[in-house]
Structure 1
Amino acid sequence: MTLAPETPAPHAPAAVRALLAATRKAGAISLAEVNERAELLARFDRSYLVPAETFLRMADRLTDPRRPGGPFRALTIDDRRAFRYHSVYYDTPGLRSFHDHRQGRRLRFKIRERVYEDSGERQFEIKLKGRRGDTVKHRRPLAGADAPLDGPFRSFLTDTLHRAYGIEAPGALTPSLGTDYLRATLVADGERVTCDAGLVCDDLRARRSVRCDAGLVLVETKTAGHLTEADRLLHAYGVRPAVFTKYCGALAALRPGLPGNRWRRAARDAFG
């Protein structure tokens, strides 16, 4: 992604322009304060595919200084409020992770490397499904020449799956999907709203790509409990939760032969 996040060109996608406009209006919050007030490594996630104009309406309401309890603020690091993310997902040759999610298995997981491109920080992450249906994230930093499949991270994966699920880690893992996008994060006490634009997904095995509709913002609400204010606003605007994750939705779009019917509708909406 070559676009300078804070200075969109006039021809930048509508979703990118909306993302930057919304965060410019918001107050700032530091990463340390986000981690203190709303880190939410165990949380409930809901995904929405939101037209840019509707997203701006929602963001205006959340960041309004008159909001009871105080406005949502935008994560800000070194005066930057939108950040480039790159992720690589790992799966078995038979796509065990994809199929476990398709079948709704309780003991399911995703494995990825996440790169925060503006800072160079890298994390090895394991996302699990908790007993309440919540998402539980475990992660370790990657440094220097570390690779996600190196011994220490294999051990971390093995230990995490054994402690959480009592199962063995898959033996054969290879990169399956890459994602790139621009993200802004709005934060209030106990709540986060991540807002992604310009999503591009690459099938790293079949060498194909899909690009999200330029007018859609992928909004994910994250909370430890019930519906958030952002959920209620989006419902009022006629936007319903989408059965969509970047990994499974993109694979359903990239590989029509996969049995991915549960994501097919949202994938069509996102990728065309």
Structure 2
Amino acid sequence: MTTTPAPPLPAAVRAVGEAAGAAAPISLAEVNARAELMARFDRSYLVPADVFLAMARRLTDPRRPGGPFRALTIDGRRAFRYHSVYYDTPELRSFHDHRQGRRLRFKIRERVYQDSGERQFEIKLKGGRGDTVKHRRPLTGEDTPLDPPFRAFLADTLRDAYGIDSPPVLRPSLTTDYVRTTFVADGERVTCDVGLVCDDLRAGRSVRCAPGLVLVETKTAGHLTEADRLLHDSGVRPAVFTKYCGAYAALRPGLPGNRWRRAARHAFGAQCPPPGPARS
């Protein structure tokens, strides 16, 4: 009996797997102790697989001054499946607040760590310095972000941070699925996502990231990281891209999302149609 060979892995998956396999491990407890970064500056890049691999080799080199970046490792795993459900108002207030660059903007999501089953309710805010500040509470059993205790947590967080009321109506709007590998040094993290798939729960459409691209996010409490500088030296600049807003720019071309359109076309290619007439 003959067996059909498995299809080759996408270039981005191969590159991240090679980089993670060559790196020394670091435990989740040590990551949280050395680089938890609940308040941080994030920069996003859409990185070709070969450029990513060259950057990763520099960061994980044992001879790196200050010590090499290490790969988050849990139960022998270095790649982890993430599933997120984003919540927004019926008129997509969160999307439009980000589009307009409002200072008092927020994102609301349920994050599922599929390999462990852990679930978190997360609220991402914009801090006074332009940094990202994350607030979270664990979800257990049949909990959902729309249950009263989590609506109260959201209301308290928005009132305390911004002095504003929580939206009276929230609905699931978008899901994202991807595989993440994380490299860590003191005070710095580099997350590397591959296989990103975004589903518009209200319109019933989906888009998938190009197989040769790694979505790299640098996370630090301060200035440009070594990863940022290596990418800049390779001609890769920060992308105006977030999973939530970039996906909507691709999935709903009628939305006024021009600030993300270029990066969305880079990420999703022909799946990202040309913009149509703007509507709310």
TM-score by length of 2: 0.94
Q: Map 1:59-98; keep pairs closer than 5 Å.
A: 59-98=56-95
User: Which residue of structure 2 aligns with residue 221 of structure 1?
Assistant: 218
The Cα shift of 1:10 comes to 5.0
- 1:140 counterpart = 2:130: no
User: Which residue of structure 1 aligns with residue 262 of structure 2?
Assistant: 265
User: Which residue of structure 1 aligns with residue 18 of structure 2?
Assistant: 21
The Cα shift of 1:231 comes to 0.1
- 1:234 counterpart = 2:240: no
User: Which residue of structure 2 aligns with residue 34 of structure 1?
Assistant: 31
Q: Which runs of 5+ in 2 are unaligned?
A: 1-5, 270-280
Name the amino acid aligned to 1:123.
Q
SS in 2 for 1:226: coil
Alignment partners' CA distance in 1, 2:236 and 2:249: 22
Alignment partners' CA distance in 1, 2:232 and 2:35: 23
Alignment partners' CA distance in 2, 1:81 and 1:177: 26
The Cα shift of 1:102 comes to 0.2
TM-score by length of 1: 0.96
How many residues align? The count is: 264
Alignment partners' CA distance in 2, 1:21 and 1:204: 34
SS in 2 for 1:241: coil
Alignment partners' CA distance in 2, 1:167 and 1:83: 35
- 1:199 counterpart = 2:196: yes
User: Which residue of structure 2 aligns with residue 175 of structure 1?
Assistant: 172
Match of 2:46 among 45, 49, 55: 49
User: Once the two structures are aligned, what percentage of the paired residues are identical?
Assistant: 83
SS in 2 for 1:158: helix
User: Which residue of structure 1 aligns with residue 272 of structure 2?
Assistant: none
Name the amino acid aligned to 1:77.
I
Name the amino acid aligned to 1:145.
E
- 1:106 counterpart = 2:107: no
- Alpha-carbon RMSD across the aligned residues, in angstroms, is 0.6
User: Which residue of structure 2 aligns with residue 5 of structure 1?
Assistant: none
- 1:165 counterpart = 2:162: yes
